[in-house]
Amino acid sequence: MSFQSDPSPAAPLASGAHAYLIGIGGCGMSGLARMFSARSVSVSGSDREPTHITRGLDSAGIPVGFDQASGRIPDRCDFVVASAAIKPDHPELLAAQERSIPVYTYAEALGLCMVGRTGLAVAGTHGKSTICAMLGWTLIHSGLDPTVIVGATCAQLGDNSGVPTGFRLGADSIPAGPRAGSPGLLIAEACEFNRSFHLLHPTIGCISAVEADHLDIYGSLDAVVQSFREFASLLPSASEGGYLLLAHDGAHRREVTAGLDCAVETIGFAPDADWHITYDTAERRVGLNRSGELVATWVNRVPGAHIALDSAIAGALAIHLGAEAKKVAEALGGFHGLDRRMQRLGEKVIAPEQPPVRVYDDYGHHPTEIDATLRALREGERPEDNGGRLICVFQPHQHSRTRFLLDEFAQSFSQADVVVVPHIYFVRDSEVEKTKVSSADLVDRLRQRGVHAMHIYPFEAIVDQLNVLCRPGDLLVVMGAGPVWKVAHGFLRSPAHAPVVTGATPPARLAAS
């Protein structure tokens, strides 16, 4: 799949065009479908199974089918959009190619949607979804009516029908503030995987961090930094409204910003950052300062210095877009969070009149994210005050990432008392890559560092083991970008102290070293 050449970069979105979206039920793809529909493009699509998102699309007049194996797409189809999860041999993708129908990736289609809008692209190795959702909510609260598309479900966003999604459709033009009458705001994540963020057309950008990741694509940190520099170079000149906000530390700002024509500001905890952040760990109070003056302050509902940074970035961007500082503080103080980002799922009582086990779910799958999340949970929840421990179930995501960053992963669990590691989630990598590293390798490194670690599979066996392992007052966090969230939900649903399954079902397998 590659970008299709058109006389105008937005030509496929002409009123009356027919689009078909393969994988339409994802957070991002369903948002695209609704943006297309709002532009009078006729939209339909397919996915593997019905969900609340596909039902919401159907209610909005966007039909969704579930027979992808037949390879049948509508007779009238002007272009196809395929999600990143669609493999090259997908029957519907092959059918489109046979009929010479233009095929776009998700990133290409999102870039088309930015044409004619005030596009704001949120980039960075970490924090994209959180910043995007926080900023979207803040702009909504400030009356700027943005369109927001996030790769995670956020209860404070929605599809304008009350169904929580990662999408919210806004106005065609900014309705209020100093930018009133300008093209409407489109807030979206800019993912660096496969250099897809180079396909966007933003006016404003932010970069929260630049670290080694996706090394199966880039090969080196230098190549990652260069890719972010190319993303930043997409922004127009300062005279045309181009603006980049990036982390003062941790974003390779000198290399990324060299030679840019857009306006550039930095943000961070360093006093010499253009936007200086202060953070009180005990109170979770964030202060946003500019030119030595306090601009806004609020108390985050979610703990952690990394969440403080994310919220401050959202606040600074909102103020740059014309939001009132008072409204920004109100919105960020009232932001509840989004799914799988340090999300507190509930509590489980395992002994009468004893502290419960508190259960969190998190998407973290990079060493820096893991370390930041575990530190924030230990500081914010303090399980030791109740005689408890911090137990982490972590599913590595991709064999190549695990192999390239194995030592960094081993260092990132210093705050955990117990770490349970299931199989590595196999996605995108080759079968050869799969043979080069295993979960047992990570367990070995953790044990060498004195961490109580074990390899257990399948997920059902992990749930059984947690019921035996967990004690009153423990804090359990389940982490990873794969389907490991099922462990957290399964643990909450299961009876306390369930026996370890034996017999016909394979027992839990523990790594001996």
Best-predicted range by mean pLDDT (22-26, 137-141, 250-254): 137-141
Residue 436 is assigned to a structural domain of this protein: yes
Flag whether 283 is in a domain.
yes
pLDDT digits (tens, 9 = 90+) for 96-119: 999 999 999 999 999 999 999 999
Identify the band that residue 260 occupies on the pLDDT scale cut at 50, 70 and 90: very high
pTM (2 decimals)? Answer: 0.80
Do 383 and 286 belong to one domain? no
- Are 442 and 412 contacting, i.e. CB atoms less than 8 angstroms apart? no
Which pLDDT score is estimated for 11? 59
Residues 90, 137: one domain?
Answer: no
Give the pLDDT of residue 501: 36
Arithmetic mean of pLDDT, 190-199: 89
pLDDT band at 338 (very low <50, low <70, confident <90, very high): confident
Give CA separation, 351 vs 288, 289, 354, in Å. Answer: 44, 47, 6
Q: Last residue of some domain: 301, 333, 365? A: 333
Tokens 């974003």, residue located: 251
Cα(332)–Cα(315) distance, integer angstroms:
8
For residue 209, being part of any structural domain is answered with: yes
Range in 218-227, 262-271, 334-343 the model is least confident about: 334-343
Over 70: is that where the pLDDT of 497 sits? no
Residues 92 and 133 occupy one common structural domain: no
Please check the confidence at residue 1 and state whether its pLDDT lies above 60. Answer: no
CB 45 within 8 A of CB 29: yes
- Cβ neighbours for 228, distance < 8 A, ≥ 6 positions apart: 123, 192, 207, 210, 251, 252, 256
- Using one digit for the tens of pLDDT, what is the confidence trace for 122-181? 999 888 889 999 999 999 999 999 999 987 777 777 655 566 677 888 999 999 999 999
Who's near 17: CB < 8 A, 6+ residues apart?
41, 42, 78, 79
Whether the pLDDT of residue 507 is over 60: the answer is no
pLDDT the model gives residue 511: 32
Span 61-76, average pLDDT: 89
110 lies in some domain = no
Cα pseudo-dihedral 243, 247, 249, 252, rounded to 10? -60
Q: What residues make up the domain containing 406?
A: 343-493
User: Which CATH number is 430's domain given?
Assistant: 3.90.190.20
130 and 173 assigned to the same domain? yes
Answer whether the bond into residue 9 is a cis peptide, omega within 30°. Answer: no
**Of the listed ranges 329-343, 398-412, 415-429, the one predicted with least confidence:** 398-412
Does the pLDDT of residue 33 top 80, yes or no? Answer: yes
Which of the four pLDDT bands, split at 50, 70 and 90, describes residue 502? very low
359 and 397 housed in the same domain: yes
Tell me the residue type at 459: F
Confidence of residue 281 (pLDDT cuts 50, 70, 90): confident
Task: Select from 104, 139, 160 the last residue of a domain.
Answer: 104
Instruction: Give the pLDDT score at 60.
Output: 87
**How far is CA 493 from its chain centroid?**
26
Q: What is the pLDDT of residues 339-354, one digit of tens each?
A: 777 788 888 988 888 8
Which of 40, 72, 104 is the C-terminal boundary of a domain? 104
Predicted pLDDT at 158: 65
- Which position has the higher pLDDT, 92 or 339? 92
Same domain, 96 and 225: no
Co-location of 252 and 275 in the same domain? yes
505 pLDDT more than 50: no
The reply to whether 451 falls in a domain is yes
pLDDT above 60 (res 503): no
Q: How far is CA 52 from CA 28, 155, 162, in A?
A: 14, 13, 11
User: In the prediction, which pLDDT does 3 show?
Assistant: 36
Reported as a pLDDT band with limits 50, 70 and 90, residue 276 is very high
Q: 389 with 425, same domain?
A: yes
Q: How high is the mean pLDDT of the chain? A: 86
Residue 349 is assigned to a structural domain of this protein: yes
Integer CA distances (angstroms), 222 to 171, 235, 317, 326, in order: 39, 21, 27, 40
The enclosing H or E element of 234 equals none
- Which backbone phi and psi does 297 adopt, to 5 degrees? -145, 145
Q: Does one domain contain both 381 and 272?
A: no
CATH number of residue 87's parent domain? 3.40.50.720
- pLDDT greater at residue 477 or residue 152: 477
> What pLDDT is recorded for position 162?
60
Phi then psi dihedrals of residue 125, to 5 deg: -60, -30
Region of 503 on the Ramachandran plot (φ > 0 left; ψ -120 to 50 alpha; else beta): left
Q: What is the pLDDT of residue 10?
A: 54
The answer to whether position 508 is within a domain reads no
Copy the structure tokens of residue 393: 């179930």
- C-alpha distances out from residue 5 to 9, 119, 392, Å: 8, 21, 48
The answer on pLDDT for 396 being more than 50 is yes
Torsion over CA: 290, 291, 292, 295 (sign): negative
Give me the long-range contacts of 264-271 (CB less than 8 A, separation at least 24). Answer: 265/316, 267/309, 267/312, 267/313, 267/316, 268/309, 269/305, 269/309
- Domain identity same for 471 and 384: yes
Clarify whether residues 264 and 303 are in a common domain.
yes
Tell whether 189 is covered by a domain: yes
Number of domains in the chain: 3
What pLDDT does 161 receive? 57
Average pLDDT rounded to a whole number, residues 437-454? 86
Residues 86, 134, single domain; the answer is no
pLDDT exceeds 90 at position 368: no
